[in-house]
Amino acid sequence: MIARKLADLGVDVIEAGFPASSEGEFIATKKIFEEVGDQVEVIGLSRSNKNDIDKTISTGISSIHLFIATSELHMKYKLKMTKEEVLNKIYESVKYAKDHGMIVEFSPEDATRTEEDFLFTAIRTAIEAGAERINIPDTVGTMHPFKYYDMIKKIVNFVGERIIVSVHCHNDFGLATANSLAGVYAGAKQAHVTVNGIGERAGNASLEEVVMGIKKLLNYETNVKTWKLYEVSRFVAEMTGVPVPYFKAIVGDNAFGHESGIHVHGVIENPFTYEPISPEEVGNFRRLALGKHSGIHGLKKLLEEQGIYLSEDKLKIVLAEIKKLAESGNKVTVEDAKNIALKLMNS
Ligand SMILES: CC(=O)SCCNC(=O)CCNC(=O)[C@H](O)C(C)(C)COP(=O)(O)OP(=O)(O)OC[C@H]1O[C@@H](n2cnc3c(N)ncnc32)[C@H](O)[C@@H]1OP(=O)(O)O
Ligand SMILES: CC(C)C(=O)C(=O)O
């Protein structure tokens, strides 16, 4: 169901699963390919070994994302392999997948903590074996945008026009979106993202933020129908049981929420004063709230929407009541404002 939503949203690629990791992932990847493979590229994640590759191929998909770690830390403690062994694995696995007709994306896992010379050797090895996409994972989110920009720029120049460079950013320092945008600005043509930024630890770069950043901040185009972002976000939240944070950019319930009087006044006059994106553009909604920060303009508008028209003096009285209510720890609703106004009108 999520894959259908993503295909409809207009993403270019869905990484459907890791077929060798379980029967469920195998079936899901196969089914997703059968359901939406005619609309969107479906790719499967795989370690750099024959067993995982064979399993991925047997789902019927024709794109594979191969990865193996290249940092000293991961090679020594996790893989227990030498550099030479890792390079051999890269060459053999990419070549094997290519010989089976796959489109190959290769990731040097933990790329951003990999010694530079070795990283370039690993990338060159993957390309020589036939990889057509190189993904540069910031596996534990330790880059910052300036550094990641420089790194991606160098890699884009190194691999040339024929190879697509991709970015994959984790959010351990809250920089996944910023780093993804820095990578795209440096020439990456693909970004790995997840709906609502869900993922291991602090999560991955969020689809909604990266898409809107590319569109509005970099002024590049994607194929994503941005007005469906909110709907997809909520669908994934419901299916996963992982709620969307209230203050989440783009798709959070408060992403277009305004309470402060000065802001609400600005938005009433011209929404662009306090909304860099219009809520409709991402399928979200504007929410004007009442509270201790409210001002006359916003209160007037909310009451008039309820059919209540008060003089300036009366509005001031209602506003004072609202602030008092809010400051005593209550959440103030439009209904509260309406009741206060009606009481005043009848007194
Ligand atoms: C940064 C990332 O996101 S990487 C992708 C993360 N995703 C996953 O891990 C998918 C879910 N994983 C799983 O279901 C399981 O971990 C499996 C099926 C992949 C492997 O399970 P197990 O065989 O029980 O091994 P386990 O997970 O404990 O250890 C991983 C093994 O893979 C090896 N390995 C890790 N990465 C790679 C790689 N890219 N290429 C080859 N081997 C690798 C490790 O060295 C270790 O090998 P060992 O068993 O010989 O010591
Ligand atoms: C497999 C790779 C791309 C990964 O998920 C990571 O390094 O974070």
Q: Quick: pLDDT tens for 266-295.
A: 999 999 999 999 999 999 999 999 999 999
**Percent residues over pLDDT 70 in the chain:** 100
* Euclidean distance between CA atoms 107 and 294, whole angstroms: 51
* Euclidean distance between CA atoms 123 and 158, whole angstroms: 9
Ligand nearest to the CA of 47: 1
Average pLDDT, the chain: 98
25 close to ligand 1 (CB < 6 Angstrom) = no
Give residue 244's pLDDT: 98
Q: With bands split at pLDDT 50, 70 and 90, how would you rate the model's confidence at 318?
A: very high
- Residue found by looking up tokens 């020439």 in the block: 187
Q: State ipTM.
A: 0.97
Q: Quick: pLDDT tens for 128-171.
A: 999 999 999 999 999 999 999 999 999 999 999 999 999 999 99
Neighbouring-strand partners of residue 287 = 257
Other C-beta atoms lying within 10 Å of the C-beta of residue 303 = 22
Give residue 330's pLDDT: 95
70 close to ligand 2 (CB < 6 Angstrom) = no
67 close to ligand 2 (CB < 6 Angstrom) = yes
18 close to ligand 1 (CB < 6 Angstrom) = yes
Q: What SS3 class is residue 124? A: helix
Collect all residues with Cβ–Cβ distance below 8 Å to 316 and sequence separation of at least 6: 296
Q: In Å, what is the CA distance from 40 to each residue of 11, 55, 204, 265, 282?
A: 7, 21, 21, 44, 21
Q: Is the pLDDT of residue 259 over 90?
A: yes
Average pLDDT over residues 112-116: 98
Collect all residues with Cβ–Cβ distance below 8 Å to 244 and sequence separation of at least 6: 196, 233, 234, 237, 251, 252, 253
Helix residue spans in the chain (DSSP H): 2-9, 23-36, 50-57, 72-73, 83-99, 116-128, 145-159, 176-185, 207-212, 229-240, 261-269, 296-305, 312-327, 334-346
Tell me which H or E stretch contains 113.
Answer: none
Give residue 347's pLDDT: 86
Give residue 122's pLDDT: 99
Nearest CA to ligand 1 atom 9: 21
Give residue 167's pLDDT: 99
Q: What SS3 class is residue 16? A: strand
* Euclidean distance between CA atoms 23 and 17, whole angstroms: 11
Task: Kindly report the pTM of this predicted structure.
Answer: 0.96
